[in-house]
């Protein structure tokens, strides 16, 4: 498992947001991305996820010994959680997870999903009430469940412990540990030293451009 | 192909489930169409028109009701995905063609529900007699397909724009004029002629438009959705 970014950069209206950046993250490693507000951490993570096209450069993904995949082809093996990710407010946590499994062609195991939600510290009722009725912290835990429920090879976490209490941070830490322990790649973009402490290496975007 | 259909069906079921819990799109469409229907009923009424003018005027009014109610509610399915941030999760998990298919089916279902409520009321309130019911129903279903296919694709285009509200009708109205003209003319024929074949040219027009629009939408949608 490997993620390779080569001369990756993104600009808007002639203003460079980040880059050019070249880095690799091997399976079993967690890379932290730090930098001031506006340095481009979220944009970099979205570019890696293929939600934003890079202005220059490329991101490629290697799984086992197969061919290199681009950000679109790797989506079934990618997990992403971020502040501007939202799940369907009218659906329950379980309904959301079931829907995203179904549209991506994954089998959904409701019992396993319930266990997963409980392991992330969500109360039992949170699985079956509309997610719009959950607290901000509970929705953040649900986003982490969304990111990890398909057991991704590449896990991208943007401000993963935002709005979480100490117990929630421990859940984030165990997610990153699980991800690296099974040989997956984790990338954590954050300003929180606790989040960055989970990474085995850090890429500092500094002040940005 | 099977997995694509399954994913499209999942998007459709998700939208139906969400709609049944909020009823926003259906309420908007029904409220709009019933308001226009009542207005048309008072303004034109069953007797204020000369009998020879009724088929033409009533056909135009019926499709105005259906057309503008489609414009008022069909953009919502894509716009809310972008506005609430769920579009990111959808992009990461669902094939673009499945998203388009699910949204198209949902918009078509909304229009069919509106038809089931509004069309009988319209026929009754304006004493609009239909001589060729088979042609009339065919035109309604094909007209809904044309409206749904074009509106769904235009909604996907405007969903990321800042001025969605004004951009949607600006793009959708010119695009929908050809099928609308076909539907109005065909409905006028259905009102006066019992023969299905009398309006076959308009049926062909609607089938051709829907086929071309749907094909273009499925070809272009991945780029629109991913950009």
pLDDT at site A60: 94
pLDDT at site A64: 79
Whether A73 is covered by a domain: the verdict is: yes
- For residue A203, the distance in angstroms to the closest alpha carbon of chain B comes to 25
Whether A150 is covered by a domain: the verdict is: yes
By CB atoms closer than 10 A (0-12, 13-18, 19+), residue B210 is: buried
- At residue A17 the predicted structure's pLDDT band, cuts being 50, 70 and 90, is confident
Instruction: Tell me the β-bridge partners of A23.
Output: A5
Q: How many folded domains does chain B comprise? A: 1
Summarize the confidence of residues A134-146 as an average pLDDT.
94
Whether A46 is covered by a domain: the verdict is: yes
Which run of H or E residues covers position A12? Answer: strand A2-12
- Is the pLDDT at A125 greater than 90, yes or no? no
What are the phi and psi torsion angles at A185 (to 5°)?
-105, 135
pLDDT at site A209: 65
Summarize the confidence of residues A87-114 as an average pLDDT.
93
Summarize the confidence of residues A95-100 as an average pLDDT.
95
Per-residue model confidence as pLDDT tens digits over A157-201 = 999 999 889 999 999 999 999 999 999 999 999 999 999 999 999
B14 touches chain A (CB under 8 A): yes
- At residue A1 the predicted structure's pLDDT band, cuts being 50, 70 and 90, is confident
- Categorise residue A151: left if φ over 0, alpha if ψ from -120 to 50, beta otherwise: left
Only one residue has tokens 């996907």, namely: B156
CA dist A81 and A46 (Å) reads 10
Q: Which domain holds residue B115?
A: 2-226
pLDDT at site A15: 87
Contact B89 A85 (CB under 8 A): yes
pLDDT at site A43: 93
CA dist A59 and A3 (Å) reads 7
Contact B227 A53 (CB under 8 A): yes
- Reported ipTM: 0.89
- At residue A208 the predicted structure's pLDDT band, cuts being 50, 70 and 90, is low
H helices within B74-95, ranges in order? 76-84, 86-93
CA-angle at A70, arms to A68 and A73, nearest 5°: 100
Whether A130 is covered by a domain: the verdict is: yes
Whether A154 is covered by a domain: the verdict is: yes
Q: How many folded domains does chain A comprise? A: 1
CATH of the domain at A195: 3.40.50.300
- Residues of chain B contacting A80 with CB distance shorter than 8 Å: 88, 92
pLDDT-flagged residues of chain B (< 50) = none
- End-to-end alpha-carbon separation of chain A, Å? 31
Whether A209 is covered by a domain: the verdict is: no
- Is the pLDDT at A72 greater than 80, yes or no? yes
Whether A26 is covered by a domain: the verdict is: yes
pLDDT at site B30: 87
């Amino acid at each position: 498992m490997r993620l390779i970014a080569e001369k990756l950069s993104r600009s808007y209206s002639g203003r460079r947001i980040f880059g050019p950046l070249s880095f690799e993250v091997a399976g079993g490693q967690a890379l932290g991305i730090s930098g001031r507000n506006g340095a481009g951490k979220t944009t970099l993570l979205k570019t890696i996820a293929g939600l934003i096209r890079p202005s220059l450069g490329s991101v490629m993904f290697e799984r086992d010994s197969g061919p290199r995949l681009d950000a679109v082809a790797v989506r079934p093996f990618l997990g992403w959680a971020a502040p501007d990710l939202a799940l369907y407010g009218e659906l329950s946590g379980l309904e959301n997870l079931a829907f995203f499994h179904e549209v991506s062609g994954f089998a959904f195991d409701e019992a396993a999903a319930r266990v997963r939600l409980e392991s992330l510290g969500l109360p039992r009722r949170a699985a079956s009430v509309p997610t719009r009725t959950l607290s901000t912290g509970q929705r953040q835990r649900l986003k982490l469940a969304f990111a990890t429920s398909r057991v991704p090879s590449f896990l991208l976490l943007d401000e993963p412990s935002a709005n979480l209490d100490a117990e929630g941070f421990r859940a984030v830490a165990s997610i990153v540990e699980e991800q690296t322990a099974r040989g997956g790649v984790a990338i954590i973009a954050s300003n929180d030293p606790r989040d960055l402490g989970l990474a085995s290496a850090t890429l500092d975007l500094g002040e940005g451009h | 192909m099977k997995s694509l259909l399954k994913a499209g069906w999942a998007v459709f079921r998700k939208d139906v489930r969400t709609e049944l819990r909020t009823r926003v799109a259906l309420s908007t469409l029904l409220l709009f169409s019933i308001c226009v229907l009542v207005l048309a009923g008072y303004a034109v009424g069953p007797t204020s028109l000369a009998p020879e003018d009724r088929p033409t005027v009533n056909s135009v009014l019926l499709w105005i009701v259906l057309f503008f109610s489609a414009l008022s509610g069909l953009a919502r399915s894509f716009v809310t995905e972008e506005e609430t941030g769920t579009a990111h999760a959808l992009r990461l998990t669902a094939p673009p063609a499945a998203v388009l298919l699910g949204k198209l089916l949902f918009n078509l279902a909304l229009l069919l529900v509106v038809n089931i409520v509004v069309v009988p009321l319209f026929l009754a309130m304006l004493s609009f007699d239909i001589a060729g019911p088979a042609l009339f129903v065919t035109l309604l279903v094909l007209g809904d397909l044309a409206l749904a296919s074009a509106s769904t694709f235009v909604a996907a285009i405007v969903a990321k724009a800042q001025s969605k509200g004004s951009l949607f009708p600006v793009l959708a109205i010119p695009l929908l004029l050809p099928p609308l003209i076909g539907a109005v003319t065909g409905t006028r024929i259905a009102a006066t002629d019992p023969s299905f074949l009398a309006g076959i040219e308009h049926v062909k027009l609607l089938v051709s438009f829907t086929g071309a629009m749907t094909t273009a939408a499925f070809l272009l949608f991945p780029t629109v959705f991913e950009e």
